[in-house]
Amino acid sequence: MNGAAVGAPFVTAVRERGRFGREISVNPVPRAVCSHACRHCPCGPTERLTVDRAEFFPLPAVLAAVDAWAGVHGAPDGVWFDCGGEPSLYARLGELTCCLRHRMPNVRIGVRSNGSLLGDAAVRRELGLCNAVRVSLNACIDDDYRRIDRPHRAVSLEQVLIGLRLLRKAYCGMLEVDTLFVRGVNDTEVNLTGLVGLVLDVRPDRYVISTGGRAGDRGLLPVAAGYLETAARLLEAAPFPVTFDTP
Ligand code: SF4
């Protein structure tokens, strides 16, 4: 991924060979504005912890930036709204998705979300406009959730889990769930068995498990090998692909 200067504000990264082909990341939410303050955030500490959706930047300005990029480089094959600044906090995300598709009829659109606002039906509807939705779900019990993701106090894990199930029922696109396990943070047995049960029930189109210890992880420790082996055993009959993204 070429992360930095790509020639237009809001277009924050380019991947030449991404899921959809040549992809760009579009971030309509300022960096470090999030409903979580995850220990593992690649953007560093959350500066504004919020659950209030807003039009942080005017929609026309975001569209103009994408137009400017596409004018120079050609229309991308895919656009991702990436976590780094939680995308679902953008109050006009649904409109942004529709406008991009109108401008670039062949583009495929994905969103990586922390899932914190899934309890909100409007958020689910807007995420559901994307071709792919990837939701991070690092815990299914409140203590572990608060330890690893450090959500805004108004975020209810129960609502997140209900929202995820409702999204799955209503959404026909590609739904992925990913979980990061970190040693000493959310690697409890009850979290693992609970998450596996939940994911088997939700039946995403793909489940990705990762652990600390990769480059750039800022000291997060990988879980014990036996923990991942247990996860693999519990998921061996899963009717969807399970991927382990480990160091
Ligand atoms: S949800 Fe994403 S952007 Fe927000 S703090 Fe966590 S890793 Fe960072």
When pLDDT is cut at 50, 70 and 90, the band that residue 18 belongs to is very high
pTM: 0.94
When pLDDT is cut at 50, 70 and 90, the band that residue 61 belongs to is very high
pLDDT at res. 232: 97
CA 84 to centroid of ligand 1, rounded, Å: 6
Q: Of the candidates 39, 43, 32, which has an alpha carbon nearest to the alpha carbon of residue 149?
A: 39
CA distance 145 to 191: 9
CA 86 to centroid of ligand 1, rounded, Å: 7
Residue 219 lies in a domain: no
CA distance 214 to 122: 35
CA distance 218 to 201: 33
Residue 165 lies in a domain: yes
pLDDT at res. 108: 98
Residue 133 lies in a domain: yes
Where is average pLDDT lowest: 8-12, 92-96, 133-137? 8-12
pLDDT digits (tens, 9 = 90+) for 63-107: 999 999 999 999 999 999 997 899 999 999 999 999 999 999 999
CA 111 to centroid of ligand 1, rounded, Å: 13
pLDDT at 5 over 60: no
Residue 237 lies in a domain: no
Ligand 1 pocket test, candidate residues 47, 56, 83, 117, most atoms within 8 A of CB: 83
pLDDT at 3 over 60: no
Of all protein residues, the one whose alpha carbon is nearest to atom 8 of ligand 1 is 41
Pairing of strands 11-18, 174-181: unpaired
Residue 138 lies in a domain: yes
Residue 119 lies in a domain: yes
What average pLDDT does the structure give for the chain?
A: 93
CA distance 107 to 230: 39
When pLDDT is cut at 50, 70 and 90, the band that residue 4 belongs to is very low
Across 45-65, average pLDDT: 96
pLDDT at 228 over 70: yes
CA distance 164 to 33: 22
pLDDT at res. 40: 84
Q: Helix 93-103 crosses helix 59-73 at what angle (to 10 degrees)?
A: 30
CA 230 to centroid of ligand 1, rounded, Å: 27
What percentage of the chain has pLDDT greater than the value 70?
A: 95
Residue 218 lies in a domain: no
pLDDT at 218 over 70: no
Domain extent at residue 44: 11-179+203-208
The CA-CA-CA angle for residues 210, 211, 213, to 5°, reads: 130
Token pair, residue 57, equals 């930047």
For residue 21, the domain's CATH number is 3.20.20.70
DSSP 36: B
Count how many domains the chain has.
1
- Binding-site residues, ligand 1, Cβ < 6 A: 34, 36-38, 41, 43, 46, 83-84, 86, 114
Q: Please give the radius of gyration of the chain, using alpha carbons only, rounded to the nearest integer.
A: 18
CA distance 139 to 120: 19
When pLDDT is cut at 50, 70 and 90, the band that residue 1 belongs to is very low
What percentage of the chain has pLDDT greater than the value 90?
A: 86
pLDDT at res. 29: 96
Which H/E stretch holds residue 69? helix 59-73
Residue 243 lies in a domain: no
- SS (HEC) of 82-133: CCCCCHHHECCHHHHHHHHHHHCCCCEEEEEECCCCCCCHHHHHHHCCCCEE
